[in-house]
Chain A
Amino acid sequence: MGVAIFLFSLAQAWSYGTYTPGHIPTILLGLAVVGFSLFIWWRQDISFDGHYEPLATGVPFRGIQIRKVAVWVFLMSEMMVFTSLFSTYMRYRLGIENCGTVFDRGLFDPVTNPTGWQEGVAVTCFEPASHLIASSWWHLAPGAINTFALILSSFTIVQALRYAKMPDLDDEVRRKKVYRYLGSTWLLAILFLTLKMVEWFIGFYVPEISVIGLHEHDIVSLVSEGYTINADHYQHHSYIDEATGAHMVANIQVSASLFYVTTGTHGAHVAGGIIGLSYMTLKAWKGLYTPANAVSIEYFGLYWHFVDLVWVLVFPFFYLY
C-alpha cells in the first residue's frame, strides 16, 4: 500500500514534465508507510526463533505455514502484474507493424511504391529492443550475463537455505556457509542492476585484442542509440536506403515504453530483493539463522526464484526476439 501511495504520488508530482509540489506530502506518506512496515517486519523477524511459526488450520492449507501460503498468494498477484505487461507486449507487437518490415517495403514512390516510407516522415512502427541488443554478441553480453547471474543467484539462495536447515552442522560452519551464499546472492543482484544500467544508460568499451581478432570499439547504450520512451524520430543505423542514402525515421514510443516498463518493473523487483538480501546477509553474518528459523530464507527464496522465473520469459522475448 505504501509503495502504491508513493508511486501514484510520484507520478502526480511529475506528470508530463510538470512539477507539482503539492504531492510531496503524499510521497513522504508513502515512504513512511513503507519504512514503518519494514521496521515492523524487522522487529518481528530479528527475534524470530522458529518456535511460533503459525500453521494454517483450515482446508486446503491445513498444516502448512501461514506465511508460506501468504507468500504464494502474493506471488499470484505478482503473476497478474507481469501477465498484464506481457499481454500488452503481445498486443502491441502484433498490432503495430514491425519497423524492419516497413523499411523492407522500400522508399516511397507515388507510382511504383505507394506504400513505402518517406524520408523525414516518421513512421509509427514497432521496433523491438532486440534489434539493437541482439545485433552482436557484445551488445547481448550484459543481458546474457544477467541471465546467468540470476540463475546462479537462484542456486546460491537455495544453497543458503540448505545449509541453514542442516541440523547436524557446526554453528560456525553454518554461519559462514549461510552468509557467504546469501552474500553471493546479494552481489549477483547488484551485478544484475549494474549491468542493467550499463545496458540502458552507460554502454561500455571493448579493447583491442589482436590475438583473437578483436577490434577496439564502443558498445553504445540503448539511450545513446536513441531508443527512448519519447523517441518519435528514431533512426536505426540499418534503416538507410542503399540506393539513395535516404534515412527512415520511426516513432517507436510504444515499443520503447513497453521495453523499459517491463524490464524496469522486473528491475524494481530485483532492487526490492536487494533490500531484503542486505538484511538477511547481515543477520546470517551475525549467526542468527538456525534450522528452526531458516524458513525465512525459504520465504524470501520463493520471491527471488519468482524474479528469476519472470526473467526466464523477459530475456528471450524482450532481449532476443
Chain B
Amino acid sequence: MAHYKILGQDPYWMNFFGLMFLTLVEVAAVGLDLSDFAAGYDTTEKVVTLWILTLIAIPKFIMIAAIFMHLYGDDDSKILTMTALFPAFFIIIMVLFIGLTHPDAATGLPDWCRPGNYGL
C-alpha cells in the first residue's frame, strides 16, 4: 500500500483524477481539428494525433504501474520493477525486428503474410 502523498493528497485519488484527465485530452485530441497545427509543422493531422496519443499513453502507463500496481513507494517496489522491466529487452527486439522492419516495410511484406492465403 502507498505510504506517501501526491501534492499532499491521497495518491490513489490523485492518480485516478490524473488518468481521467489524460484520457479526456486523448479523446479530445482525436475530435479536434488539428490540420492547421499540423500544417504549421509541415506534417499531416494523423501524424500529430499519433504523437499526442503516444505522448499521453506513456505517462498513463507509468501512473498505473507505479501507483496502482505499487511499483513505486513500497519496500519491494525496486525488485518488482526490475522484474516487470525484464521482458522489455525481448519486447524491444520484437517491436524493432518485427513491428518496424525497414526499409521495405511498405512494399516488402511477403506473400504468405498477405490476405488470400490459408484459404481465407
Contacts and interface: CB of A to CB of B under 8 A. Distances in A.
Nearest to A72: B83
Nearest to A161: B1
A317 B79 contact: no
Contacts of A232: 115
A124 B115 contact: yes
Contacts of B99: 86-91, 94
B1 A162 contact: yes
A312 B68 CA distance: 14
B61 A321 contact: no
B53 A317 contact: yes
Contacts of A251: 115-116
B65 interface: yes
B76 A91 contact: no
A94 B115 contact: no
Contact of B65 (A140, A309, A321): A309
A79 interface: yes
A142 to B, nearest CB: 12
Contact of B87 (A80, A134, A316): A80
Interface stretch (A41-49, A147-155, A171-179, A274-282): A147-155
A95 B19 contact: no
Interface residues of B, number: 53
Nearest to B30: A320
Interface of A: 16, 60-61, 63-64, 68-69, 72-73, 75-76, 79-80, 83-84, 86-92, 94-97, 124, 134, 137, 140, 144, 147-148, 151-152, 154-155, 158-159, 161-162, 165, 230, 232, 251, 253-254, 298, 301-302, 305-306, 308-309, 312-313, 315-317, 320-321
Interface of B: 1, 12-13, 15-16, 19-20, 23, 26-27, 29-31, 46, 49-50, 53-54, 56-57, 60-61, 64-65, 68-70, 76, 79-80, 82-84, 86-87, 90-91, 94-95, 98-101, 105-106, 108-109, 113-116, 119-120
Given A134-B30, A147-B27, 18 more contacts: A61-B79, A68-B76, A75-B84, A76-B84, A79-B91, A83-B95, A84-B94, A91-B105, A147-B23, A151-B20, A154-B68, A232-B115, A253-B115, A254-B114, A301-B68, A309-B69, A320-B29, A321-B46
**5 closest A-B pairs by CB:** A90-B99, A87-B99, A316-B53, A95-B109, A94-B105
